[in-house]
Amino acid sequence: MKKNGMNSLRLFHVSEEPDIRVFEPRLPTRRDLDPEIGLVWAIDEARLPNFLTPRDCPRVTYHVGEQTTEEDRKTFFTSAGSSHAVIIEGRWFSVMQKTTLYLYEFDPKEFVLQDSVAGYYVAETTQVPIGKTVVTDLFAELVQRQVELRIVDNLWEIADNVKASTLNWSLCRMANAQPHRS
């Protein structure tokens, strides 16, 4: 992990909880991290769209990276102006319409980069947010951020296709997705 060095770096924690005042480090469950060191997790602003859905909403997200080919860009985006996509299942549409999210912003000085593709940053110390933004219309927020939003009946085919592409991708809460179709 390397220390962040950008003054313009903005880091957020996204939650459905409206009044978090303090973020205490939690022990990670991921196998690639030390299970003895508690962490506060944050996401950078560029990957924030990956989390602008209800917490338990299964989703396939992807964005253009340094290795993305022009062919994949044309295959996976319908709009030339988009470089980020969020795909959800139709059964989550109404849940997403009713969900309010709270974007807690952190001072980035104590955070280190944990995953550059995912935009994850971590801090080992207690964090107090420096700001909070309330998002009541998740669809409008994604559109404002020029994110391509798709609604499908099943996520698995697009997930398989995206994993085989040159895009940077993230599959979130897939245990909650409709079963894979053969």
**122-165 pLDDT, tens per residue?**
999 999 999 999 999 999 999 999 999 999 999 999 999 999 99
**Which has the closest alpha carbon to 92: 155, 147, 134?**
155
For residues 20 and 129, the answer to whether their CB atoms sit within 8 Å is yes
Check whether 1 has a pLDDT greater than 50.
Answer: no
At 12 the pLDDT is 98
Question: Tens digit of pLDDT for each residue in 10-48?
Answer: 999 999 999 999 999 999 988 888 999 999 999 999 999
Query: How far is Cα 78 from Cα 165, in angstroms, rounded to an integer?
Result: 16
Query: How far is Cα 166 from Cα 37, in angstroms, rounded to an integer?
Result: 33
Residue at token pair 């549409």: 93
